[in-house]
Amino acid sequence: MKHTVRSFWLRSPGQGEIRETSVSGPGDGEVLVRALCSGVSRGTETLVFRGGVPESQHAAMRAPFQEGEFPGPVKYGYLSVGQVEEGPGELVGRTVFCLYPHQTRYVVPASAVTVVPDTVPATRAILVGTVETAVNALWDAAPLIGDRIAVVGGGMVGCSVAALLARYPGVRVQLVDADPARADIARALGVDFALPADALGECDLVVHASATEQGLTRSLELLRDEGTVIELSWYGDRRVCLPLGEAFHSRRLVVRSSQVGAVSPARRASRTYADRLALALDLLADPAFDALVTGECRFEELPDVMPGLTSGELPGLCHRVLYDSE
């Protein structure tokens, strides 16, 4: 049986559209998922929307179920939550997460979906990709009890890292952002907030996620001697300059990258991608994460909404896309 579906495509940088096509019913070992909601990753997806993926990174930046090629036309996205309509009996009717672009229905291998726990609403489960990034970052960072930590950049990733660090015993956590409106979100997550000029220094660890040169420079300034910056920002085709002269060497500072594409070496021998994703979903049982969803639209509105998200005209963190029951 054929199903008519609609999907969001980037036609060319800065221009999105909804296309209609059809998919066949699932075969053996596959599931048909009806989308309930999806999330727009404001960092990566808006970079893709403006055509900012460097040619050297076209292969590395491919999403699991991407169609087309950068810079476009391309169907891109990876934060979809839906309900299984057809497939193995144990999955039919279950709410699942899948690394799929924005589309009303889709067929994927059953192994590509993860069941969302009953403790996590579908509307919150769209955050799992970002929380998974935060989990991997903290495996890389390995914070210790009593550490003094700053998270510079109060976007989706930075806030997710701060929310998890708030659970560590005896840790001083401060979310640092140039937007004073992020203070309310920090409060909801249970951490302190500071503007960059007011941030507390002598940090053992700084997690940087602002994707700005100024943020990374400030992260270095906040470290104690021999402290470490974990760099989570993705700059795309932009170059950044850092003060690696001055006291960088004498203070023996460290800048380390972290990226969700591979399980952290600290856990690679004992955790799979599926383990990491399941952990992130379990962590989303905490309703504090609802503070990260700051905008919402219907699927049909996405071509008009994406330019505003990309330009910053529509501020906020995670933008949720809702689908009609059709």
* Annotated domain spans of the chain: 2-127+284-322, 130-257
What is the rounded end-to-end Cα distance, in angstroms, of the chain?
16
* Cis peptide bond N-terminal to 26, omega within 30: no
Look at residue 89 in the predicted model and tell me its pLDDT: 96
Q: Cα 282–108–296 angle (5° rounding)?
A: 55
Look at residue 325 in the predicted model and tell me its pLDDT: 65
CA distance 246 to 256: 19
* DSSP for residue 242: -
Q: Cβ neighbours of residue 245 under 8 Å, at least 6 residues apart?
A: none
Alpha carbon separation from 77 to 162, 290, 307 (Å, rounded): 24, 21, 15
Regions of the chain with pLDDT less than 50: none
Alpha carbon separation from 227 to 162, 214, 244, 305 (Å, rounded): 18, 18, 14, 40
Look at residue 209 in the predicted model and tell me its pLDDT: 96
**Phi (first) and psi of residue 237, to 5 degrees:** -95, 10
Q: Looking at the whole model, is its pTM more than 0.85?
A: yes
CATH node for 2-127+284-322: 3.90.180.10
Look at residue 60 in the predicted model and tell me its pLDDT: 86
Among candidate residues 305, 313, 312, the one with its CA nearest the CA of residue 321: 305
- Other beta carbons within 10 Å of 59: 9
Look at residue 266 in the predicted model and tell me its pLDDT: 96
Look at residue 237 in the predicted model and tell me its pLDDT: 77
Contact 234/44 with Cβ under 8 angstroms? yes
Among candidate residues 120, 121, 141, 170, the one with its CA nearest the CA of residue 279: 120
**Phi (first) and psi of residue 216, to 5 degrees:** -70, -40
| CATH 3.40.640.10 given to domain 130-257 | no
Look at residue 306 in the predicted model and tell me its pLDDT: 97
Q: What 3-state class would DSSP assign to 5? A: strand
Look at residue 38 in the predicted model and tell me its pLDDT: 98
Look at residue 246 in the predicted model and tell me its pLDDT: 87
